[in-house]
Amino acid sequence: MRLIIMGQQAFGKDVLQKILMRDVDEVVAVYCEPDKEKKPIDPIKEFALEKGIKVIQPDNFSDTDTQKKLKSFEADLMIMAFVNIFVPGEARDMPRFGSICFHPSLLPLHRGPSAVNWPIIMGKENSGFSWFYPTDGLDEGDVLLQWECPIGPNDTVIDLYFKKIYPEAVNSVSTVCDLFRSGKPPRIVQDEAKATYERRCTKKHTQIDWHKPVRQVYDLIRGSNPAPGAWTTYKEKVISIYDSEILGGDGISGRVVDISSQGITVQCIGGRILVKRVKPDAESKQTADSWAGMSNLTVGENLGT
């Protein structure tokens, strides 16, 4: 088949590399976002140029000339791997088989831009990814295939996405191509009654409330690690929290109950959080005990409000 690969960053590049390694299909063009001033070249662009593949970087797909160019490639399928720019139907439908898009959740669950963060924050026990037929609605099209995996009780975003979803998703593009080549690719209608949508997870969603059950606090921290980072305050200064651990123990929530070489232990409802790594505003990440020493934090003080 003649393929157009649309994507960006490492995931887009690795999907492109996987397809080229198979040496079964022809990649006729790579589409990625326009270059950003003072930013390094996108890995998918750099790799495509190394392989002699034509790279197109439109800032929108509603433009007539952009659509004419896309149509000129006479592609069989457009594979959309990690796409931030909206692609209207007239552009998506130009390839003979249309387009297929990747999303890191088990659709119709967790539609939206932070589909890896929210299942962890919500304490879910499983996640995965979907390849689906994109429509004008956000992550609403019929599903081609899905892959499911457990979310471990201590998994962070790095564990769930980079160690579980990412490698399997890259490998799955082979199956995607084979399904279309078979002439009978599945189309599974999403159940709207089960659909959920969450907005982009940002700092406004990740402020820690130490007066909540310890598991909720822990899930928020690990579901925000490494980005956008859960945070609290100390003496009105914002402190982002990354690596942590649940401990037993009772006491007054929000209070620092121990400081050691292992980190800072903070009381929540029904248990405690051992904070191991932090990032004060405008500073680099550091061990929690180092920050405590420099900040003169003492046992008995409170974090947060």
Task: Determine the distance from the C-alpha atom of residue 254 to the mean position of all C-alpha atoms in its chain, rounded to a whole number.
Answer: 30
Residue range 71-100: average pLDDT?
95
pLDDT higher than threshold 90 for residue 81: yes
Residue range 219-239: average pLDDT?
97
> Residue 38 — pLDDT band, cuts 50, 70, 90?
confident
pLDDT higher than threshold 90 for residue 187: yes
> Residue 235 — pLDDT band, cuts 50, 70, 90?
very high
Q: What is the mean pLDDT of the chain?
A: 96
User: What pLDDT digit, counting tens, does each position of 129-139 carry?
Assistant: 999 999 999 99
The whole-model pTM stands at: 0.94
> Residue 84 — pLDDT band, cuts 50, 70, 90?
confident
Pick the range with the lowest mean pLDDT from 30-39, 69-78, 146-155.
30-39
User: What pLDDT digit, counting tens, does each position of 90-124 carry?
Assistant: 999 999 999 999 999 999 999 999 999 999 999 99
What confidence score (pLDDT) does residue 305 get? 80
% of the chain surpassing 90 pLDDT: 96
**Under CATH, to which class is 203-295 assigned?**
alpha beta
pLDDT higher than threshold 90 for residue 206: yes
Domain ranges of the chain: 2-194, 203-295
pLDDT higher than threshold 90 for residue 5: yes
What confidence score (pLDDT) does residue 85 get? 87
First to last CA, the chain: 59
Pick the range with the lowest mean pLDDT from 11-15, 84-88, 121-125, 129-133.
84-88
Residue range 176-195: average pLDDT?
96
The yes-or-no answer to whether 2-194 and 203-295 have a common fold is no
What confidence score (pLDDT) does residue 161 get? 98
pLDDT higher than threshold 90 for residue 282: no
CATH for the stretch 2-194: 3.40.50.170
> Residue 198 — pLDDT band, cuts 50, 70, 90?
very high
Tokens for 24, please give them: 């079964």
